[in-house]
């Protein structure tokens, strides 16, 4: 049942990302809700969940984007893995820590996306990308992160913690 609910949640976020979020573009970037889901899942449930959610979310995003199948899946899985590795070492109740993790995870994800994209022939604008996409996106995620993490943490505490 939880997998069905989570899948519906991811689908809803995909729809939001494609339809409503372009209206919330700041500095030429729009938030990546799917990356935020991966980071928060890994942060709250650990490495295995981070990799599973990264795989699922990335695969769905790859299928819908169409061109480089596997690129989003790989980058989101690796980001979920890295964030999941620090899960046991952080204080989830302190809302500032997850925001810093989200900022750093966004930078990591975008670096991985440019790196692997460059390897498979996708044009990566390394110098331009950092100043025009990566840092503004990381700052944007850090700004909206508290508004998304607090409800995510409350749902985690109420329905998911210690129920596996």
Check which CATH number belongs to the domain holding 91 and give it.
Answer: 1.10.1760
162: left (phi over 0), alpha (psi -120 to 50) or beta: left
User: Is 23 part of a structural domain of the chain?
Assistant: no
Can you tell me whether residue 27 is helix, strand or coil?
coil
Residue 51 lies in a domain: yes
- Would you say residue 22 lies in a domain? no
Per-residue pLDDT tens, the chain, 164 aa: give them.
Answer: 677 877 888 888 888 888 888 888 887 888 999 999 999 999 999 999 999 999 999 998 899 887 778 999 999 999 999 999 998 888 878 888 889 999 999 999 999 998 998 888 777 676 677 778 899 999 999 999 999 888 888 888 777 665 55
For residue 6, being part of any structural domain is answered with yes
Residue 36 is classified by DSSP as: H
Domain count, the chain: 1
User: Would 126 be classed as within a structural domain?
Assistant: yes
> Residue 24 domain-assigned?
no
Residue 154 lies in a domain: yes
Identify whether 96 is part of a domain: yes
**Domain range spanning residue 40?**
2-17+29-160
């Amino acid at each position: 049942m939880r997998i069905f609910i989570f899948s519906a949640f991811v689908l809803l976020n995909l729809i939001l990302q494609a339809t409503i979020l372009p209206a919330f573009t700041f500095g030429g970037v729009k938030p990546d809700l799917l990356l935020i889901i991966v980071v928060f899942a890994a942060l709250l449930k650990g490495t295995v969940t981070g990799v599973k959610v990264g795989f699922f979310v990335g695969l769905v995003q790859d299928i819908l984007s169409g061109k480089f199948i596997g690129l989003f899946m790989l980058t989101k899985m690796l980001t979920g893995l890295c964030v999941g590795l620090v899960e046991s070492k952080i204080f989830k109740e302190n809302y500032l820590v997850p925001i810093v993790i989200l900022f750093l995870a966004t930078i990591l994800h975008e670096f991985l996306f440019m790196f692997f994209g460059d390897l498979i022939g996708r044009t990566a604008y390394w110098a331009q990308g950092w100043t025009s996409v990566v840092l503004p996106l990381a700052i944007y995620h850090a700004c909206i992160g508290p508004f998304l993490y607090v409800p995510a943490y409350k749902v985690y505490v109420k329905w998911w913690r210690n129920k596996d």
